């Protein structure tokens, strides 16, 4: 039974990214303006010392110690478990169990970090390569390591729509609650850096060899990052039973397709415009109600002009404050929607506006300029979070203050 | 709320795409790998797109186009799809070149097309469809998650028509790797003898199946899809039975209301014990039909099973090939499948 106006609340958050191993550490870096980007240390690749990336500053053994998962599994599962566990513990629902609980996760390439090491042996001899390195190749297998680690069994699934994956997993989770299929959903996504992705993006010539400059006139491309971000979504009934402060609610969401090109966004930002406007419509809000936009803002020439154009078409002056936190975390692909959802609800809870680092020359084609300074004690009522990806998949989420 | 299956498009190892006799002339292949019977793609896709597409992208796109043509719909309100493995061929090509060329002189095409959402995105691009578009990649739940998404969209009235489907391919690399995990039979076997073998392993399969689902009925609907339900790692037969009973109760049905059970037996002596246990208990009185000797085993084989159930109801006939003597008046079919005894799913299909 679907209830359109049923509220879906955020009761817990968890994040691990290049700027911090947990929520508090990430917030500290956001406040101090410290980016997590630097030279490659973890991957064995010819791009070392050439392409900067945003690595999580924990080794696989350290992540294993923090999560209880074996250090030999995909780093994507280790990162996912780290953030999902933080979110789950933050929500503090254990005393209410059993609840109908689901995990809706996302990633872009599953256990590829392990598969690529398997493949170098396998291509020489198809009986070679250790099977334990491909056993969790599938995107869903990575999710199941996290589900099993958290003891979630009632419902589990995985979405992969490139860079919009975890925005889609969050609102699929919310819909499962609105349809009264689940009471609680841990939703978000994870992605580790892999040679596969690094080389793939490199062939597209959209990687910046310096630190990325989202929404700058002279932007050159994106820096890849890694990490995970999850929110714990709960129904009204569950929200009433927990005594903790809720972070806010997911008031709007939408998914549209740009249908322009497999990897490039349309110049007029068709898909992003549709996603943002439909999310606003579902939330019952007007563009002027949005306090802050957490931009997709990858730093590529194409994304930023497309997204910026869509914002220019949809909003009018005075424009909402906006920034791309990818200037801190790099582009974490399937994790980015989850990480940025966490940053969005934290902005609401604490009254923060995050800066867009390294912005030197604002884009001439746009009538607005992203924020360059960290601001606190702000009134942040509604945050729009954008996630757009390959395949034209565009999704927007709106989080609102209670 | 009822979800109506208005049209289908199914590319499988059998001749299942478009109009034709319903599983009368079976394709028999010997070995442990059932490859799809592929159509002339020019009928469905512009040649300039075909050239770049890998096999799974062509299969997925053509199955989707056949489905839309049958439905007479140019632009569905949403596209949802499931794929456990994604575009394996392109993934393998990029991985191989990356290793062999030591990360140098790589080209983007294989990488671009390796992305799991490529098929859904290509369909949107070909249709110029700007609507909701989602791809689920959860092993044996991939197709079921896409169907659940579709059914929720229809109930929300976010969409009145949804193109929902699934696609998975076998490649030489995936077959070699999954063989090493012991998934497939060691001895060569004709697919039609799959259930007579009683040995370890199954036969690899693949396919692409799409459905046009709507919350509005039409004169030419195949059937209605009343429920999709998944459960993960059940502890044993009792828990499986509890889930099946729970779904029936939620639909206000009893076991006696089910005319036919479509079971996911795959010929693996161990895996099939899960089904055999139910044959002695809750399904003891039910006629059963099997399908994996026709399409092989793969995580989204339930796409084939849904096409089969919908077609049985539409054609009002049970083809001999399914392992049960034909009988009439099949109004309600329960599909029960498990993949590797981890992902269990139920689908309830009934006459409109």
| Token representation of residue B30 | 């010997």
What is the average pLDDT across B44-63? 95
Query: For residue B140, what are the CA distances in angstroms to A154, A156, B233, B270, B305?
Result: 15, 11, 11, 18, 13
Nearest CA in chain B to A138: B85
**A342 and A227 in a common domain:** no
Name the percent of chain A lying above pLDDT 70: 100
Q: Are strands B132-136 and B288-290 parallel, antiparallel or unpaired?
A: unpaired
| Radius of gyration of chain B from its Cα atoms, rounded to whole angstroms | 19
A and B: number of Cβ contacts within 8 A: 181
| Residues of A (195-224) whose Cβ lies below 8 Å from B | 195-196, 199-200, 202-204
Domain CATH number, residue A114? 3.40.47.10
Mutation target among B138, B148, B154, B162 for the A interface, most CBs of A within 10 A: B138
Give the model's pLDDT for residue A150.
97
Judged by a CB distance cut-off of 8 A, whether residue B145 touches chain A is: yes
Closest in B133, B149, B176 to A393, CB measured: B133
Any domain includes A379:
yes
Task: Classify burial at A231, counting beta carbons within 10 Å of its beta carbon; exposed 0-12, middle 13-18, buried 19 or more.
Answer: buried
**A296 and A280 in a common domain:** yes
Any domain includes A339:
yes
**A174 and A67 in a common domain:** yes
Point out the domain boundary residue: A194, A225, A241. A241
Domains in chain B: ranges and CATH: 3-214 (3.40.47.10), 224-350 (3.40.47.10)
Give the C-alpha separation, B151 to B104, whole Å.
Answer: 46
Active site (catalytic) residues of A = 163, 296, 331
Range of the domain at A341: 249-400
Q: Could you give phi then psi for residue A331, rounded to 5 degrees?
A: -90, 110
Task: Classify burial at B74, counting beta carbons within 10 Å of its beta carbon; exposed 0-12, middle 13-18, buried 19 or more.
Answer: exposed
Nearest CA in chain B to A120: B99
**A92 and A224 in a common domain:** yes
Minimum distance, in Å, between the CA of residue A277 and any CA atom of chain B: 13
Minimum distance, in Å, between the CA of residue B327 and any CA atom of chain A: 36
First-to-last C-alpha distance (Å) of chain A: 25
Closest in B98, B103, B138 to A156, CB measured: B138
B132–A255 CB contact, under 8 Å: yes
| Radius of gyration of chain A from its Cα atoms, rounded to whole angstroms | 20
Any domain includes A4:
no
Minimum distance, in Å, between the CA of residue B61 and any CA atom of chain A: 14
Give the model's pLDDT for residue A328.
98
Chain B positions touching A172 (Cβ under 8 A) are 134, 149
Give the model's pLDDT for residue A243.
82
What is the average pLDDT across A343-368? 98
* Listed residue (B302, B307, B303, B336) closest to B319, CA to CA: B307
Closest in B104, B108, B230 to A204, CB measured: B108
SS3 A121: helix
Query: For residue B96, what are the CA distances in angstroms to A112, A118, B93?
Result: 13, 11, 5
**A273 and A203 in a common domain:** no
pLDDT greater than 90 at residue A262: no
Closest in A45, A175, A393 to B152, CB measured: A175
Averaged pLDDT of chain A? 97
A262–B130 CB contact, under 8 Å: no
Is residue B132 a contact partner of residue A258, using CB atoms and an 8 Å limit? no
Give the model's pLDDT for residue A65.
98
Point out the domain boundary residue: A241, A259, A279. A241
Residue B50: pLDDT band (50, 70, 90) is: very high
Please list the residues that pair with A161 across neighbouring strands: A163
**A191 and A263 in a common domain:** no
Judged by a CB distance cut-off of 8 A, whether residue B252 touches chain A is: no
Chain B positions touching A127 (Cβ under 8 A) are 180
Give the model's pLDDT for residue B328.
84
Is residue B194 a contact partner of residue B266, using CB atoms and an 8 Å limit? yes
SS3 A41: coil
Give the C-alpha separation, A29 to B298, whole Å.
Answer: 45
**A51 and A163 in a common domain:** yes
| Domain count along chain A | 2
Point out the domain boundary residue: A215, A241, A267. A241
Residue A81: pLDDT band (50, 70, 90) is: very high
Per-residue pLDDT tens over the stretch A130-187: 999 999 999 999 999 999 999 999 999 999 999 999 999 999 999 999 999 999 999 9
What is the average pLDDT across B75-79? 98
pLDDT greater than 80 at residue B1: no
Residue A219: pLDDT band (50, 70, 90) is: very high
Name the percent of chain B lying above pLDDT 90: 96
Any domain includes A1:
no
CB contact set of B134 (below 8 Å; sequence gap of 6+):
A159, A161, A168, A172, A255, A393, B78, B79, B80, B81, B120, B146, B149
Mutation target among A111, A124, A174, A199 for the B interface, most CBs of B within 10 A: A199
Judged by a CB distance cut-off of 8 A, whether residue B162 touches chain A is: no
**A282 and A355 in a common domain:** yes
**A237 and A347 in a common domain:** no
Any domain includes A328:
yes
Nearest CA in chain B to A396: B132
Chain A positions touching B103 (Cβ under 8 A) are 45-47, 195, 199
Per-residue pLDDT tens over the stretch A11-66: 999 999 999 999 999 999 999 999 999 999 999 999 999 999 999 999 999 999 99
Cα A28–chain centre separation: 18
Model ipTM value: 0.98
Chain A positions touching B107 (Cβ under 8 A) are 203
pLDDT greater than 80 at residue B27: yes
Cα A175–chain centre separation: 18
| Token representation of residue A230 | 């999850």
Residue A308: pLDDT band (50, 70, 90) is: very high
What is the average pLDDT across B39-66? 96
Give the model's pLDDT for residue A200.
98
CB contact set of A8 (below 8 Å; sequence gap of 6+):
A174, A177, A178, A233, A234, A235, A249, A250
Length of chain A: 402
**A253 and A225 in a common domain:** no
Give the model's pLDDT for residue A244.
85
**A254 and A237 in a common domain:** no
C-alpha count within 13 angstroms, C-beta hemisphere, residue A183 = 15
Chain A positions touching B96 (Cβ under 8 A) are 119, 123
A139–B122 CB contact, under 8 Å: no
Secondary structure, 3-state, chain B: CCEEEEEEEEECCCCCCCCCCCCCCCCCCEECECCCCCCCHHHCCCHHHHCCCCHHHHHHHHHHHHHHHHHCCCCCCEEEEECCCCCHHHHHHHHHHHHHCCCCCCCHHHHHHHCCCHHHHHHHHHHCCCCEEEEECCHHHHHHHHHHHHHHHHHHCCCCEEEEEEEECCCHHHHHHHHHCCCECCCCEEHHHHHHCCCCCECECCEEEEEEEECCCCCCCCEEEEEEEEEECCCCHHHHHHHHHHHHHHCCCCHHHCCEEEECCCCCCCCCHHHHHHHHCCCCCCCEEECHHHHCECCCCHHHHHHHHHHHHHHCCCCHHHCCCCCCCCCEEEEEEEECCCEEEEEEEECC
| Token representation of residue A20 | 């911090």
Length of chain B: 352
What is the average pLDDT across B57-68? 98
Give the model's pLDDT for residue B323.
87
Residue A375: pLDDT band (50, 70, 90) is: very high
Any domain includes A367:
yes
What is the average pLDDT across A242-267? 94
First-to-last C-alpha distance (Å) of chain B: 12
Closest in B108, B139, B173 to A140, CB measured: B139
Any domain includes A386:
yes
Chain A positions touching B98 (Cβ under 8 A) are 116, 195-196, 199
Any domain includes A307:
yes
Residue A342: pLDDT band (50, 70, 90) is: very high
**A255 and A235 in a common domain:** no
Task: Map tokens 């392992």 to a residue.
Answer: B323
B137–A138 CB contact, under 8 Å: yes
SS3 A195: helix
pLDDT greater than 90 at residue B19: no
| Residues of B (207-226) whose Cβ lies below 8 Å from A | none
A108–B115 CB contact, under 8 Å: yes
Per-residue pLDDT tens over the stretch B281-337: 999 999 999 999 999 999 999 999 999 999 999 999 999 999 888 888 899 999 999
Judged by a CB distance cut-off of 8 A, whether residue A256 touches chain B is: yes
Judged by a CB distance cut-off of 8 A, whether residue B112 touches chain A is: yes
* Listed residue (A368, A391, A346, A317) closest to A161, CA to CA: A391
Q: Are strands A37-38 and B132-136 parallel, antiparallel or unpaired?
A: unpaired
Q: Are strands A184-191 and A101-106 parallel, antiparallel or unpaired?
A: parallel
| Token representation of residue B247 | 């779904």
């Amino acid at each position: 039974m679907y209830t359109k106006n049923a509220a879906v609340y955020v009761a817990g958050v968890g994040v691990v990214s290049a700027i911090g191993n947990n929520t508090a550490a990430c917030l500290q870096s956001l406040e101090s303006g410290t980016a997590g980007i630097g030279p490659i240390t973890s991957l064995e690749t010819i791009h070392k010392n050439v392409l900067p990336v945003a690595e999580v500053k924990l080794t696989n053994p350290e992540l294993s110690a923090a999560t209880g998962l074996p250090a030999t599994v995909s780093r994507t599962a280790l990162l996912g478990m780290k953030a999902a566990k933080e979110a789950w513990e933050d929500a503090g629902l254990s005393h209410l169990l059993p609840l109908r609980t689901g995990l809706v996760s996302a990633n872009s390439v599953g256990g590829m970090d392990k598969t690529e090491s398997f493949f170098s042996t396998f291509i020489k001899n198809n009986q070679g390569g250790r099977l334990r390195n491909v056993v969790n190749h599938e995107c869903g297998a990575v999710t199941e390591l996290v589900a099993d680690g958290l003891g979630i069994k009632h419902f589990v699934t995985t979405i992969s729509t490139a860079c919009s994956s975890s925005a889609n997993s969050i609102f699929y989770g919310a819909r499962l609650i609105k349809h009264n299929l689940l009471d609680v959903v841990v939703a978000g996504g994870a992605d580790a850096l892999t040679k596969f992705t690094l080389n793939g993006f490199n062939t597209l010539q959209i990687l910046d060899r310096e630190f990325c400059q989202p929404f700058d006139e002279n932007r050159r491309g994106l820096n890849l990052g890694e990490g995970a971000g999850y929110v714990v979504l709960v129904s009204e009934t569950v929200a009433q039973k927990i005594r903790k402060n809720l972070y806010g609610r997911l008031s709007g969401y939408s998914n549209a397709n740009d249908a322009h090109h497999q990897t490039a966004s349309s110049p007029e930002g068709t898909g992003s415009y549709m996603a943002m406007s439909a999310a606003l419509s579902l939330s019952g809000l007007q563009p002027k109600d949005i306090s802050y936009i957490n931009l997709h803002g990858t730093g590529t020439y194409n994304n930023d002009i497309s997204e910026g154009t869509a914002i220019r078409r949809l909003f009018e002056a005075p424009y909402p404050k906006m920034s791309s936190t990818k200037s801190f975390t790099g582009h974490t692909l399937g994790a980015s929607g989850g990480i940025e959802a966490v940053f969005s609800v934290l902005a609401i809870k604490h009254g923060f506006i995050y800066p867009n680092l390294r912005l030197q020359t604002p884009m001439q084609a746009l009538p607005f300029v992203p924020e360059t300074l960290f601001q606190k004690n702000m009134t942040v009522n509604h945050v729009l979070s954008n996630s757009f990806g390959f395949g034209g998949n565009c999704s927007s989420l709106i989080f609102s203050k209670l | 709320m009822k979800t109506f299956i208005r049209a289908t498009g199914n590319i499988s190892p059998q001749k299942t795409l478009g109009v034709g006799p319903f599983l009368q002339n079976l394709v028999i292949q010997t070995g442990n790998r059932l490859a799809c019977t592929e159509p002339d793609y020019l009928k469905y896709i512009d040649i300039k797109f075909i050239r770049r597409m890998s096999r799974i992208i062509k299969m997925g796109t053509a199955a989707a186009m056949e489905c839309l043509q049958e439905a007479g719909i140019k632009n569905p309100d949403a596209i949802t799809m499931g794929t456990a493995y994604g575009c394996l061929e392109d993934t393998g090509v990029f991985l191989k070149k990356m290793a062999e060329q030591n990360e140098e002189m790589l080209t983007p095409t294989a990488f671009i097309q390796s992305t799991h959402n490529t098929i859904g995105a290509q369909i949107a691009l070909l249709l110029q469809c700007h609507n909701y578009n989602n791809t689920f990649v959860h092993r044996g739940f991939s197709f079921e998650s896409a169907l659940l998404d579709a059914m929720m969209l229809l109930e929300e009235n976010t969409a009145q028509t949804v193109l929902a489907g699934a696609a998975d391919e076998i490649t030489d690399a995936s077959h070699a790797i999954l063989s090493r995990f012991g998934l497939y039979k060691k001895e060569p076997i004709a697919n039609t003898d799959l259930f007579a073998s009683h040995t370890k392993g199954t036969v690899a399969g693949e396919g692409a199946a799409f459905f046009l689902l709507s919350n509005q009925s039409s004169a030419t609907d195949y059937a209605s899809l009343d429920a999709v339900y998944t459960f993960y790692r059940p502890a044993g037969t009792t828990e499986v039975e509890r889930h099946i009973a729970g779904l029936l109760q939620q639909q206000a049905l009893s076991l006696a209301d089910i005319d036919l059970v479509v079971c996911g037996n795959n010929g693996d002596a161990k895996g099939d014990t899960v089904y055999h246990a139910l044959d002695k208990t809750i399904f003891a009185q039910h006629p059963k039909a099997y399908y994996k000797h026709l399409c092989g085993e793969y995580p989204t084989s339930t796409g084939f099973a849904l096409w089969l159930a919908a077609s049985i109801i539409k054609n009002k006939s049970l083809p001999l090939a399914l392992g049960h003597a034909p009988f009439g008046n099949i109004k309600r079919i329960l599909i029960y499948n498990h993949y590797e005894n981890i992902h269990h799913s139920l689908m309830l299909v009934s006459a409109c």
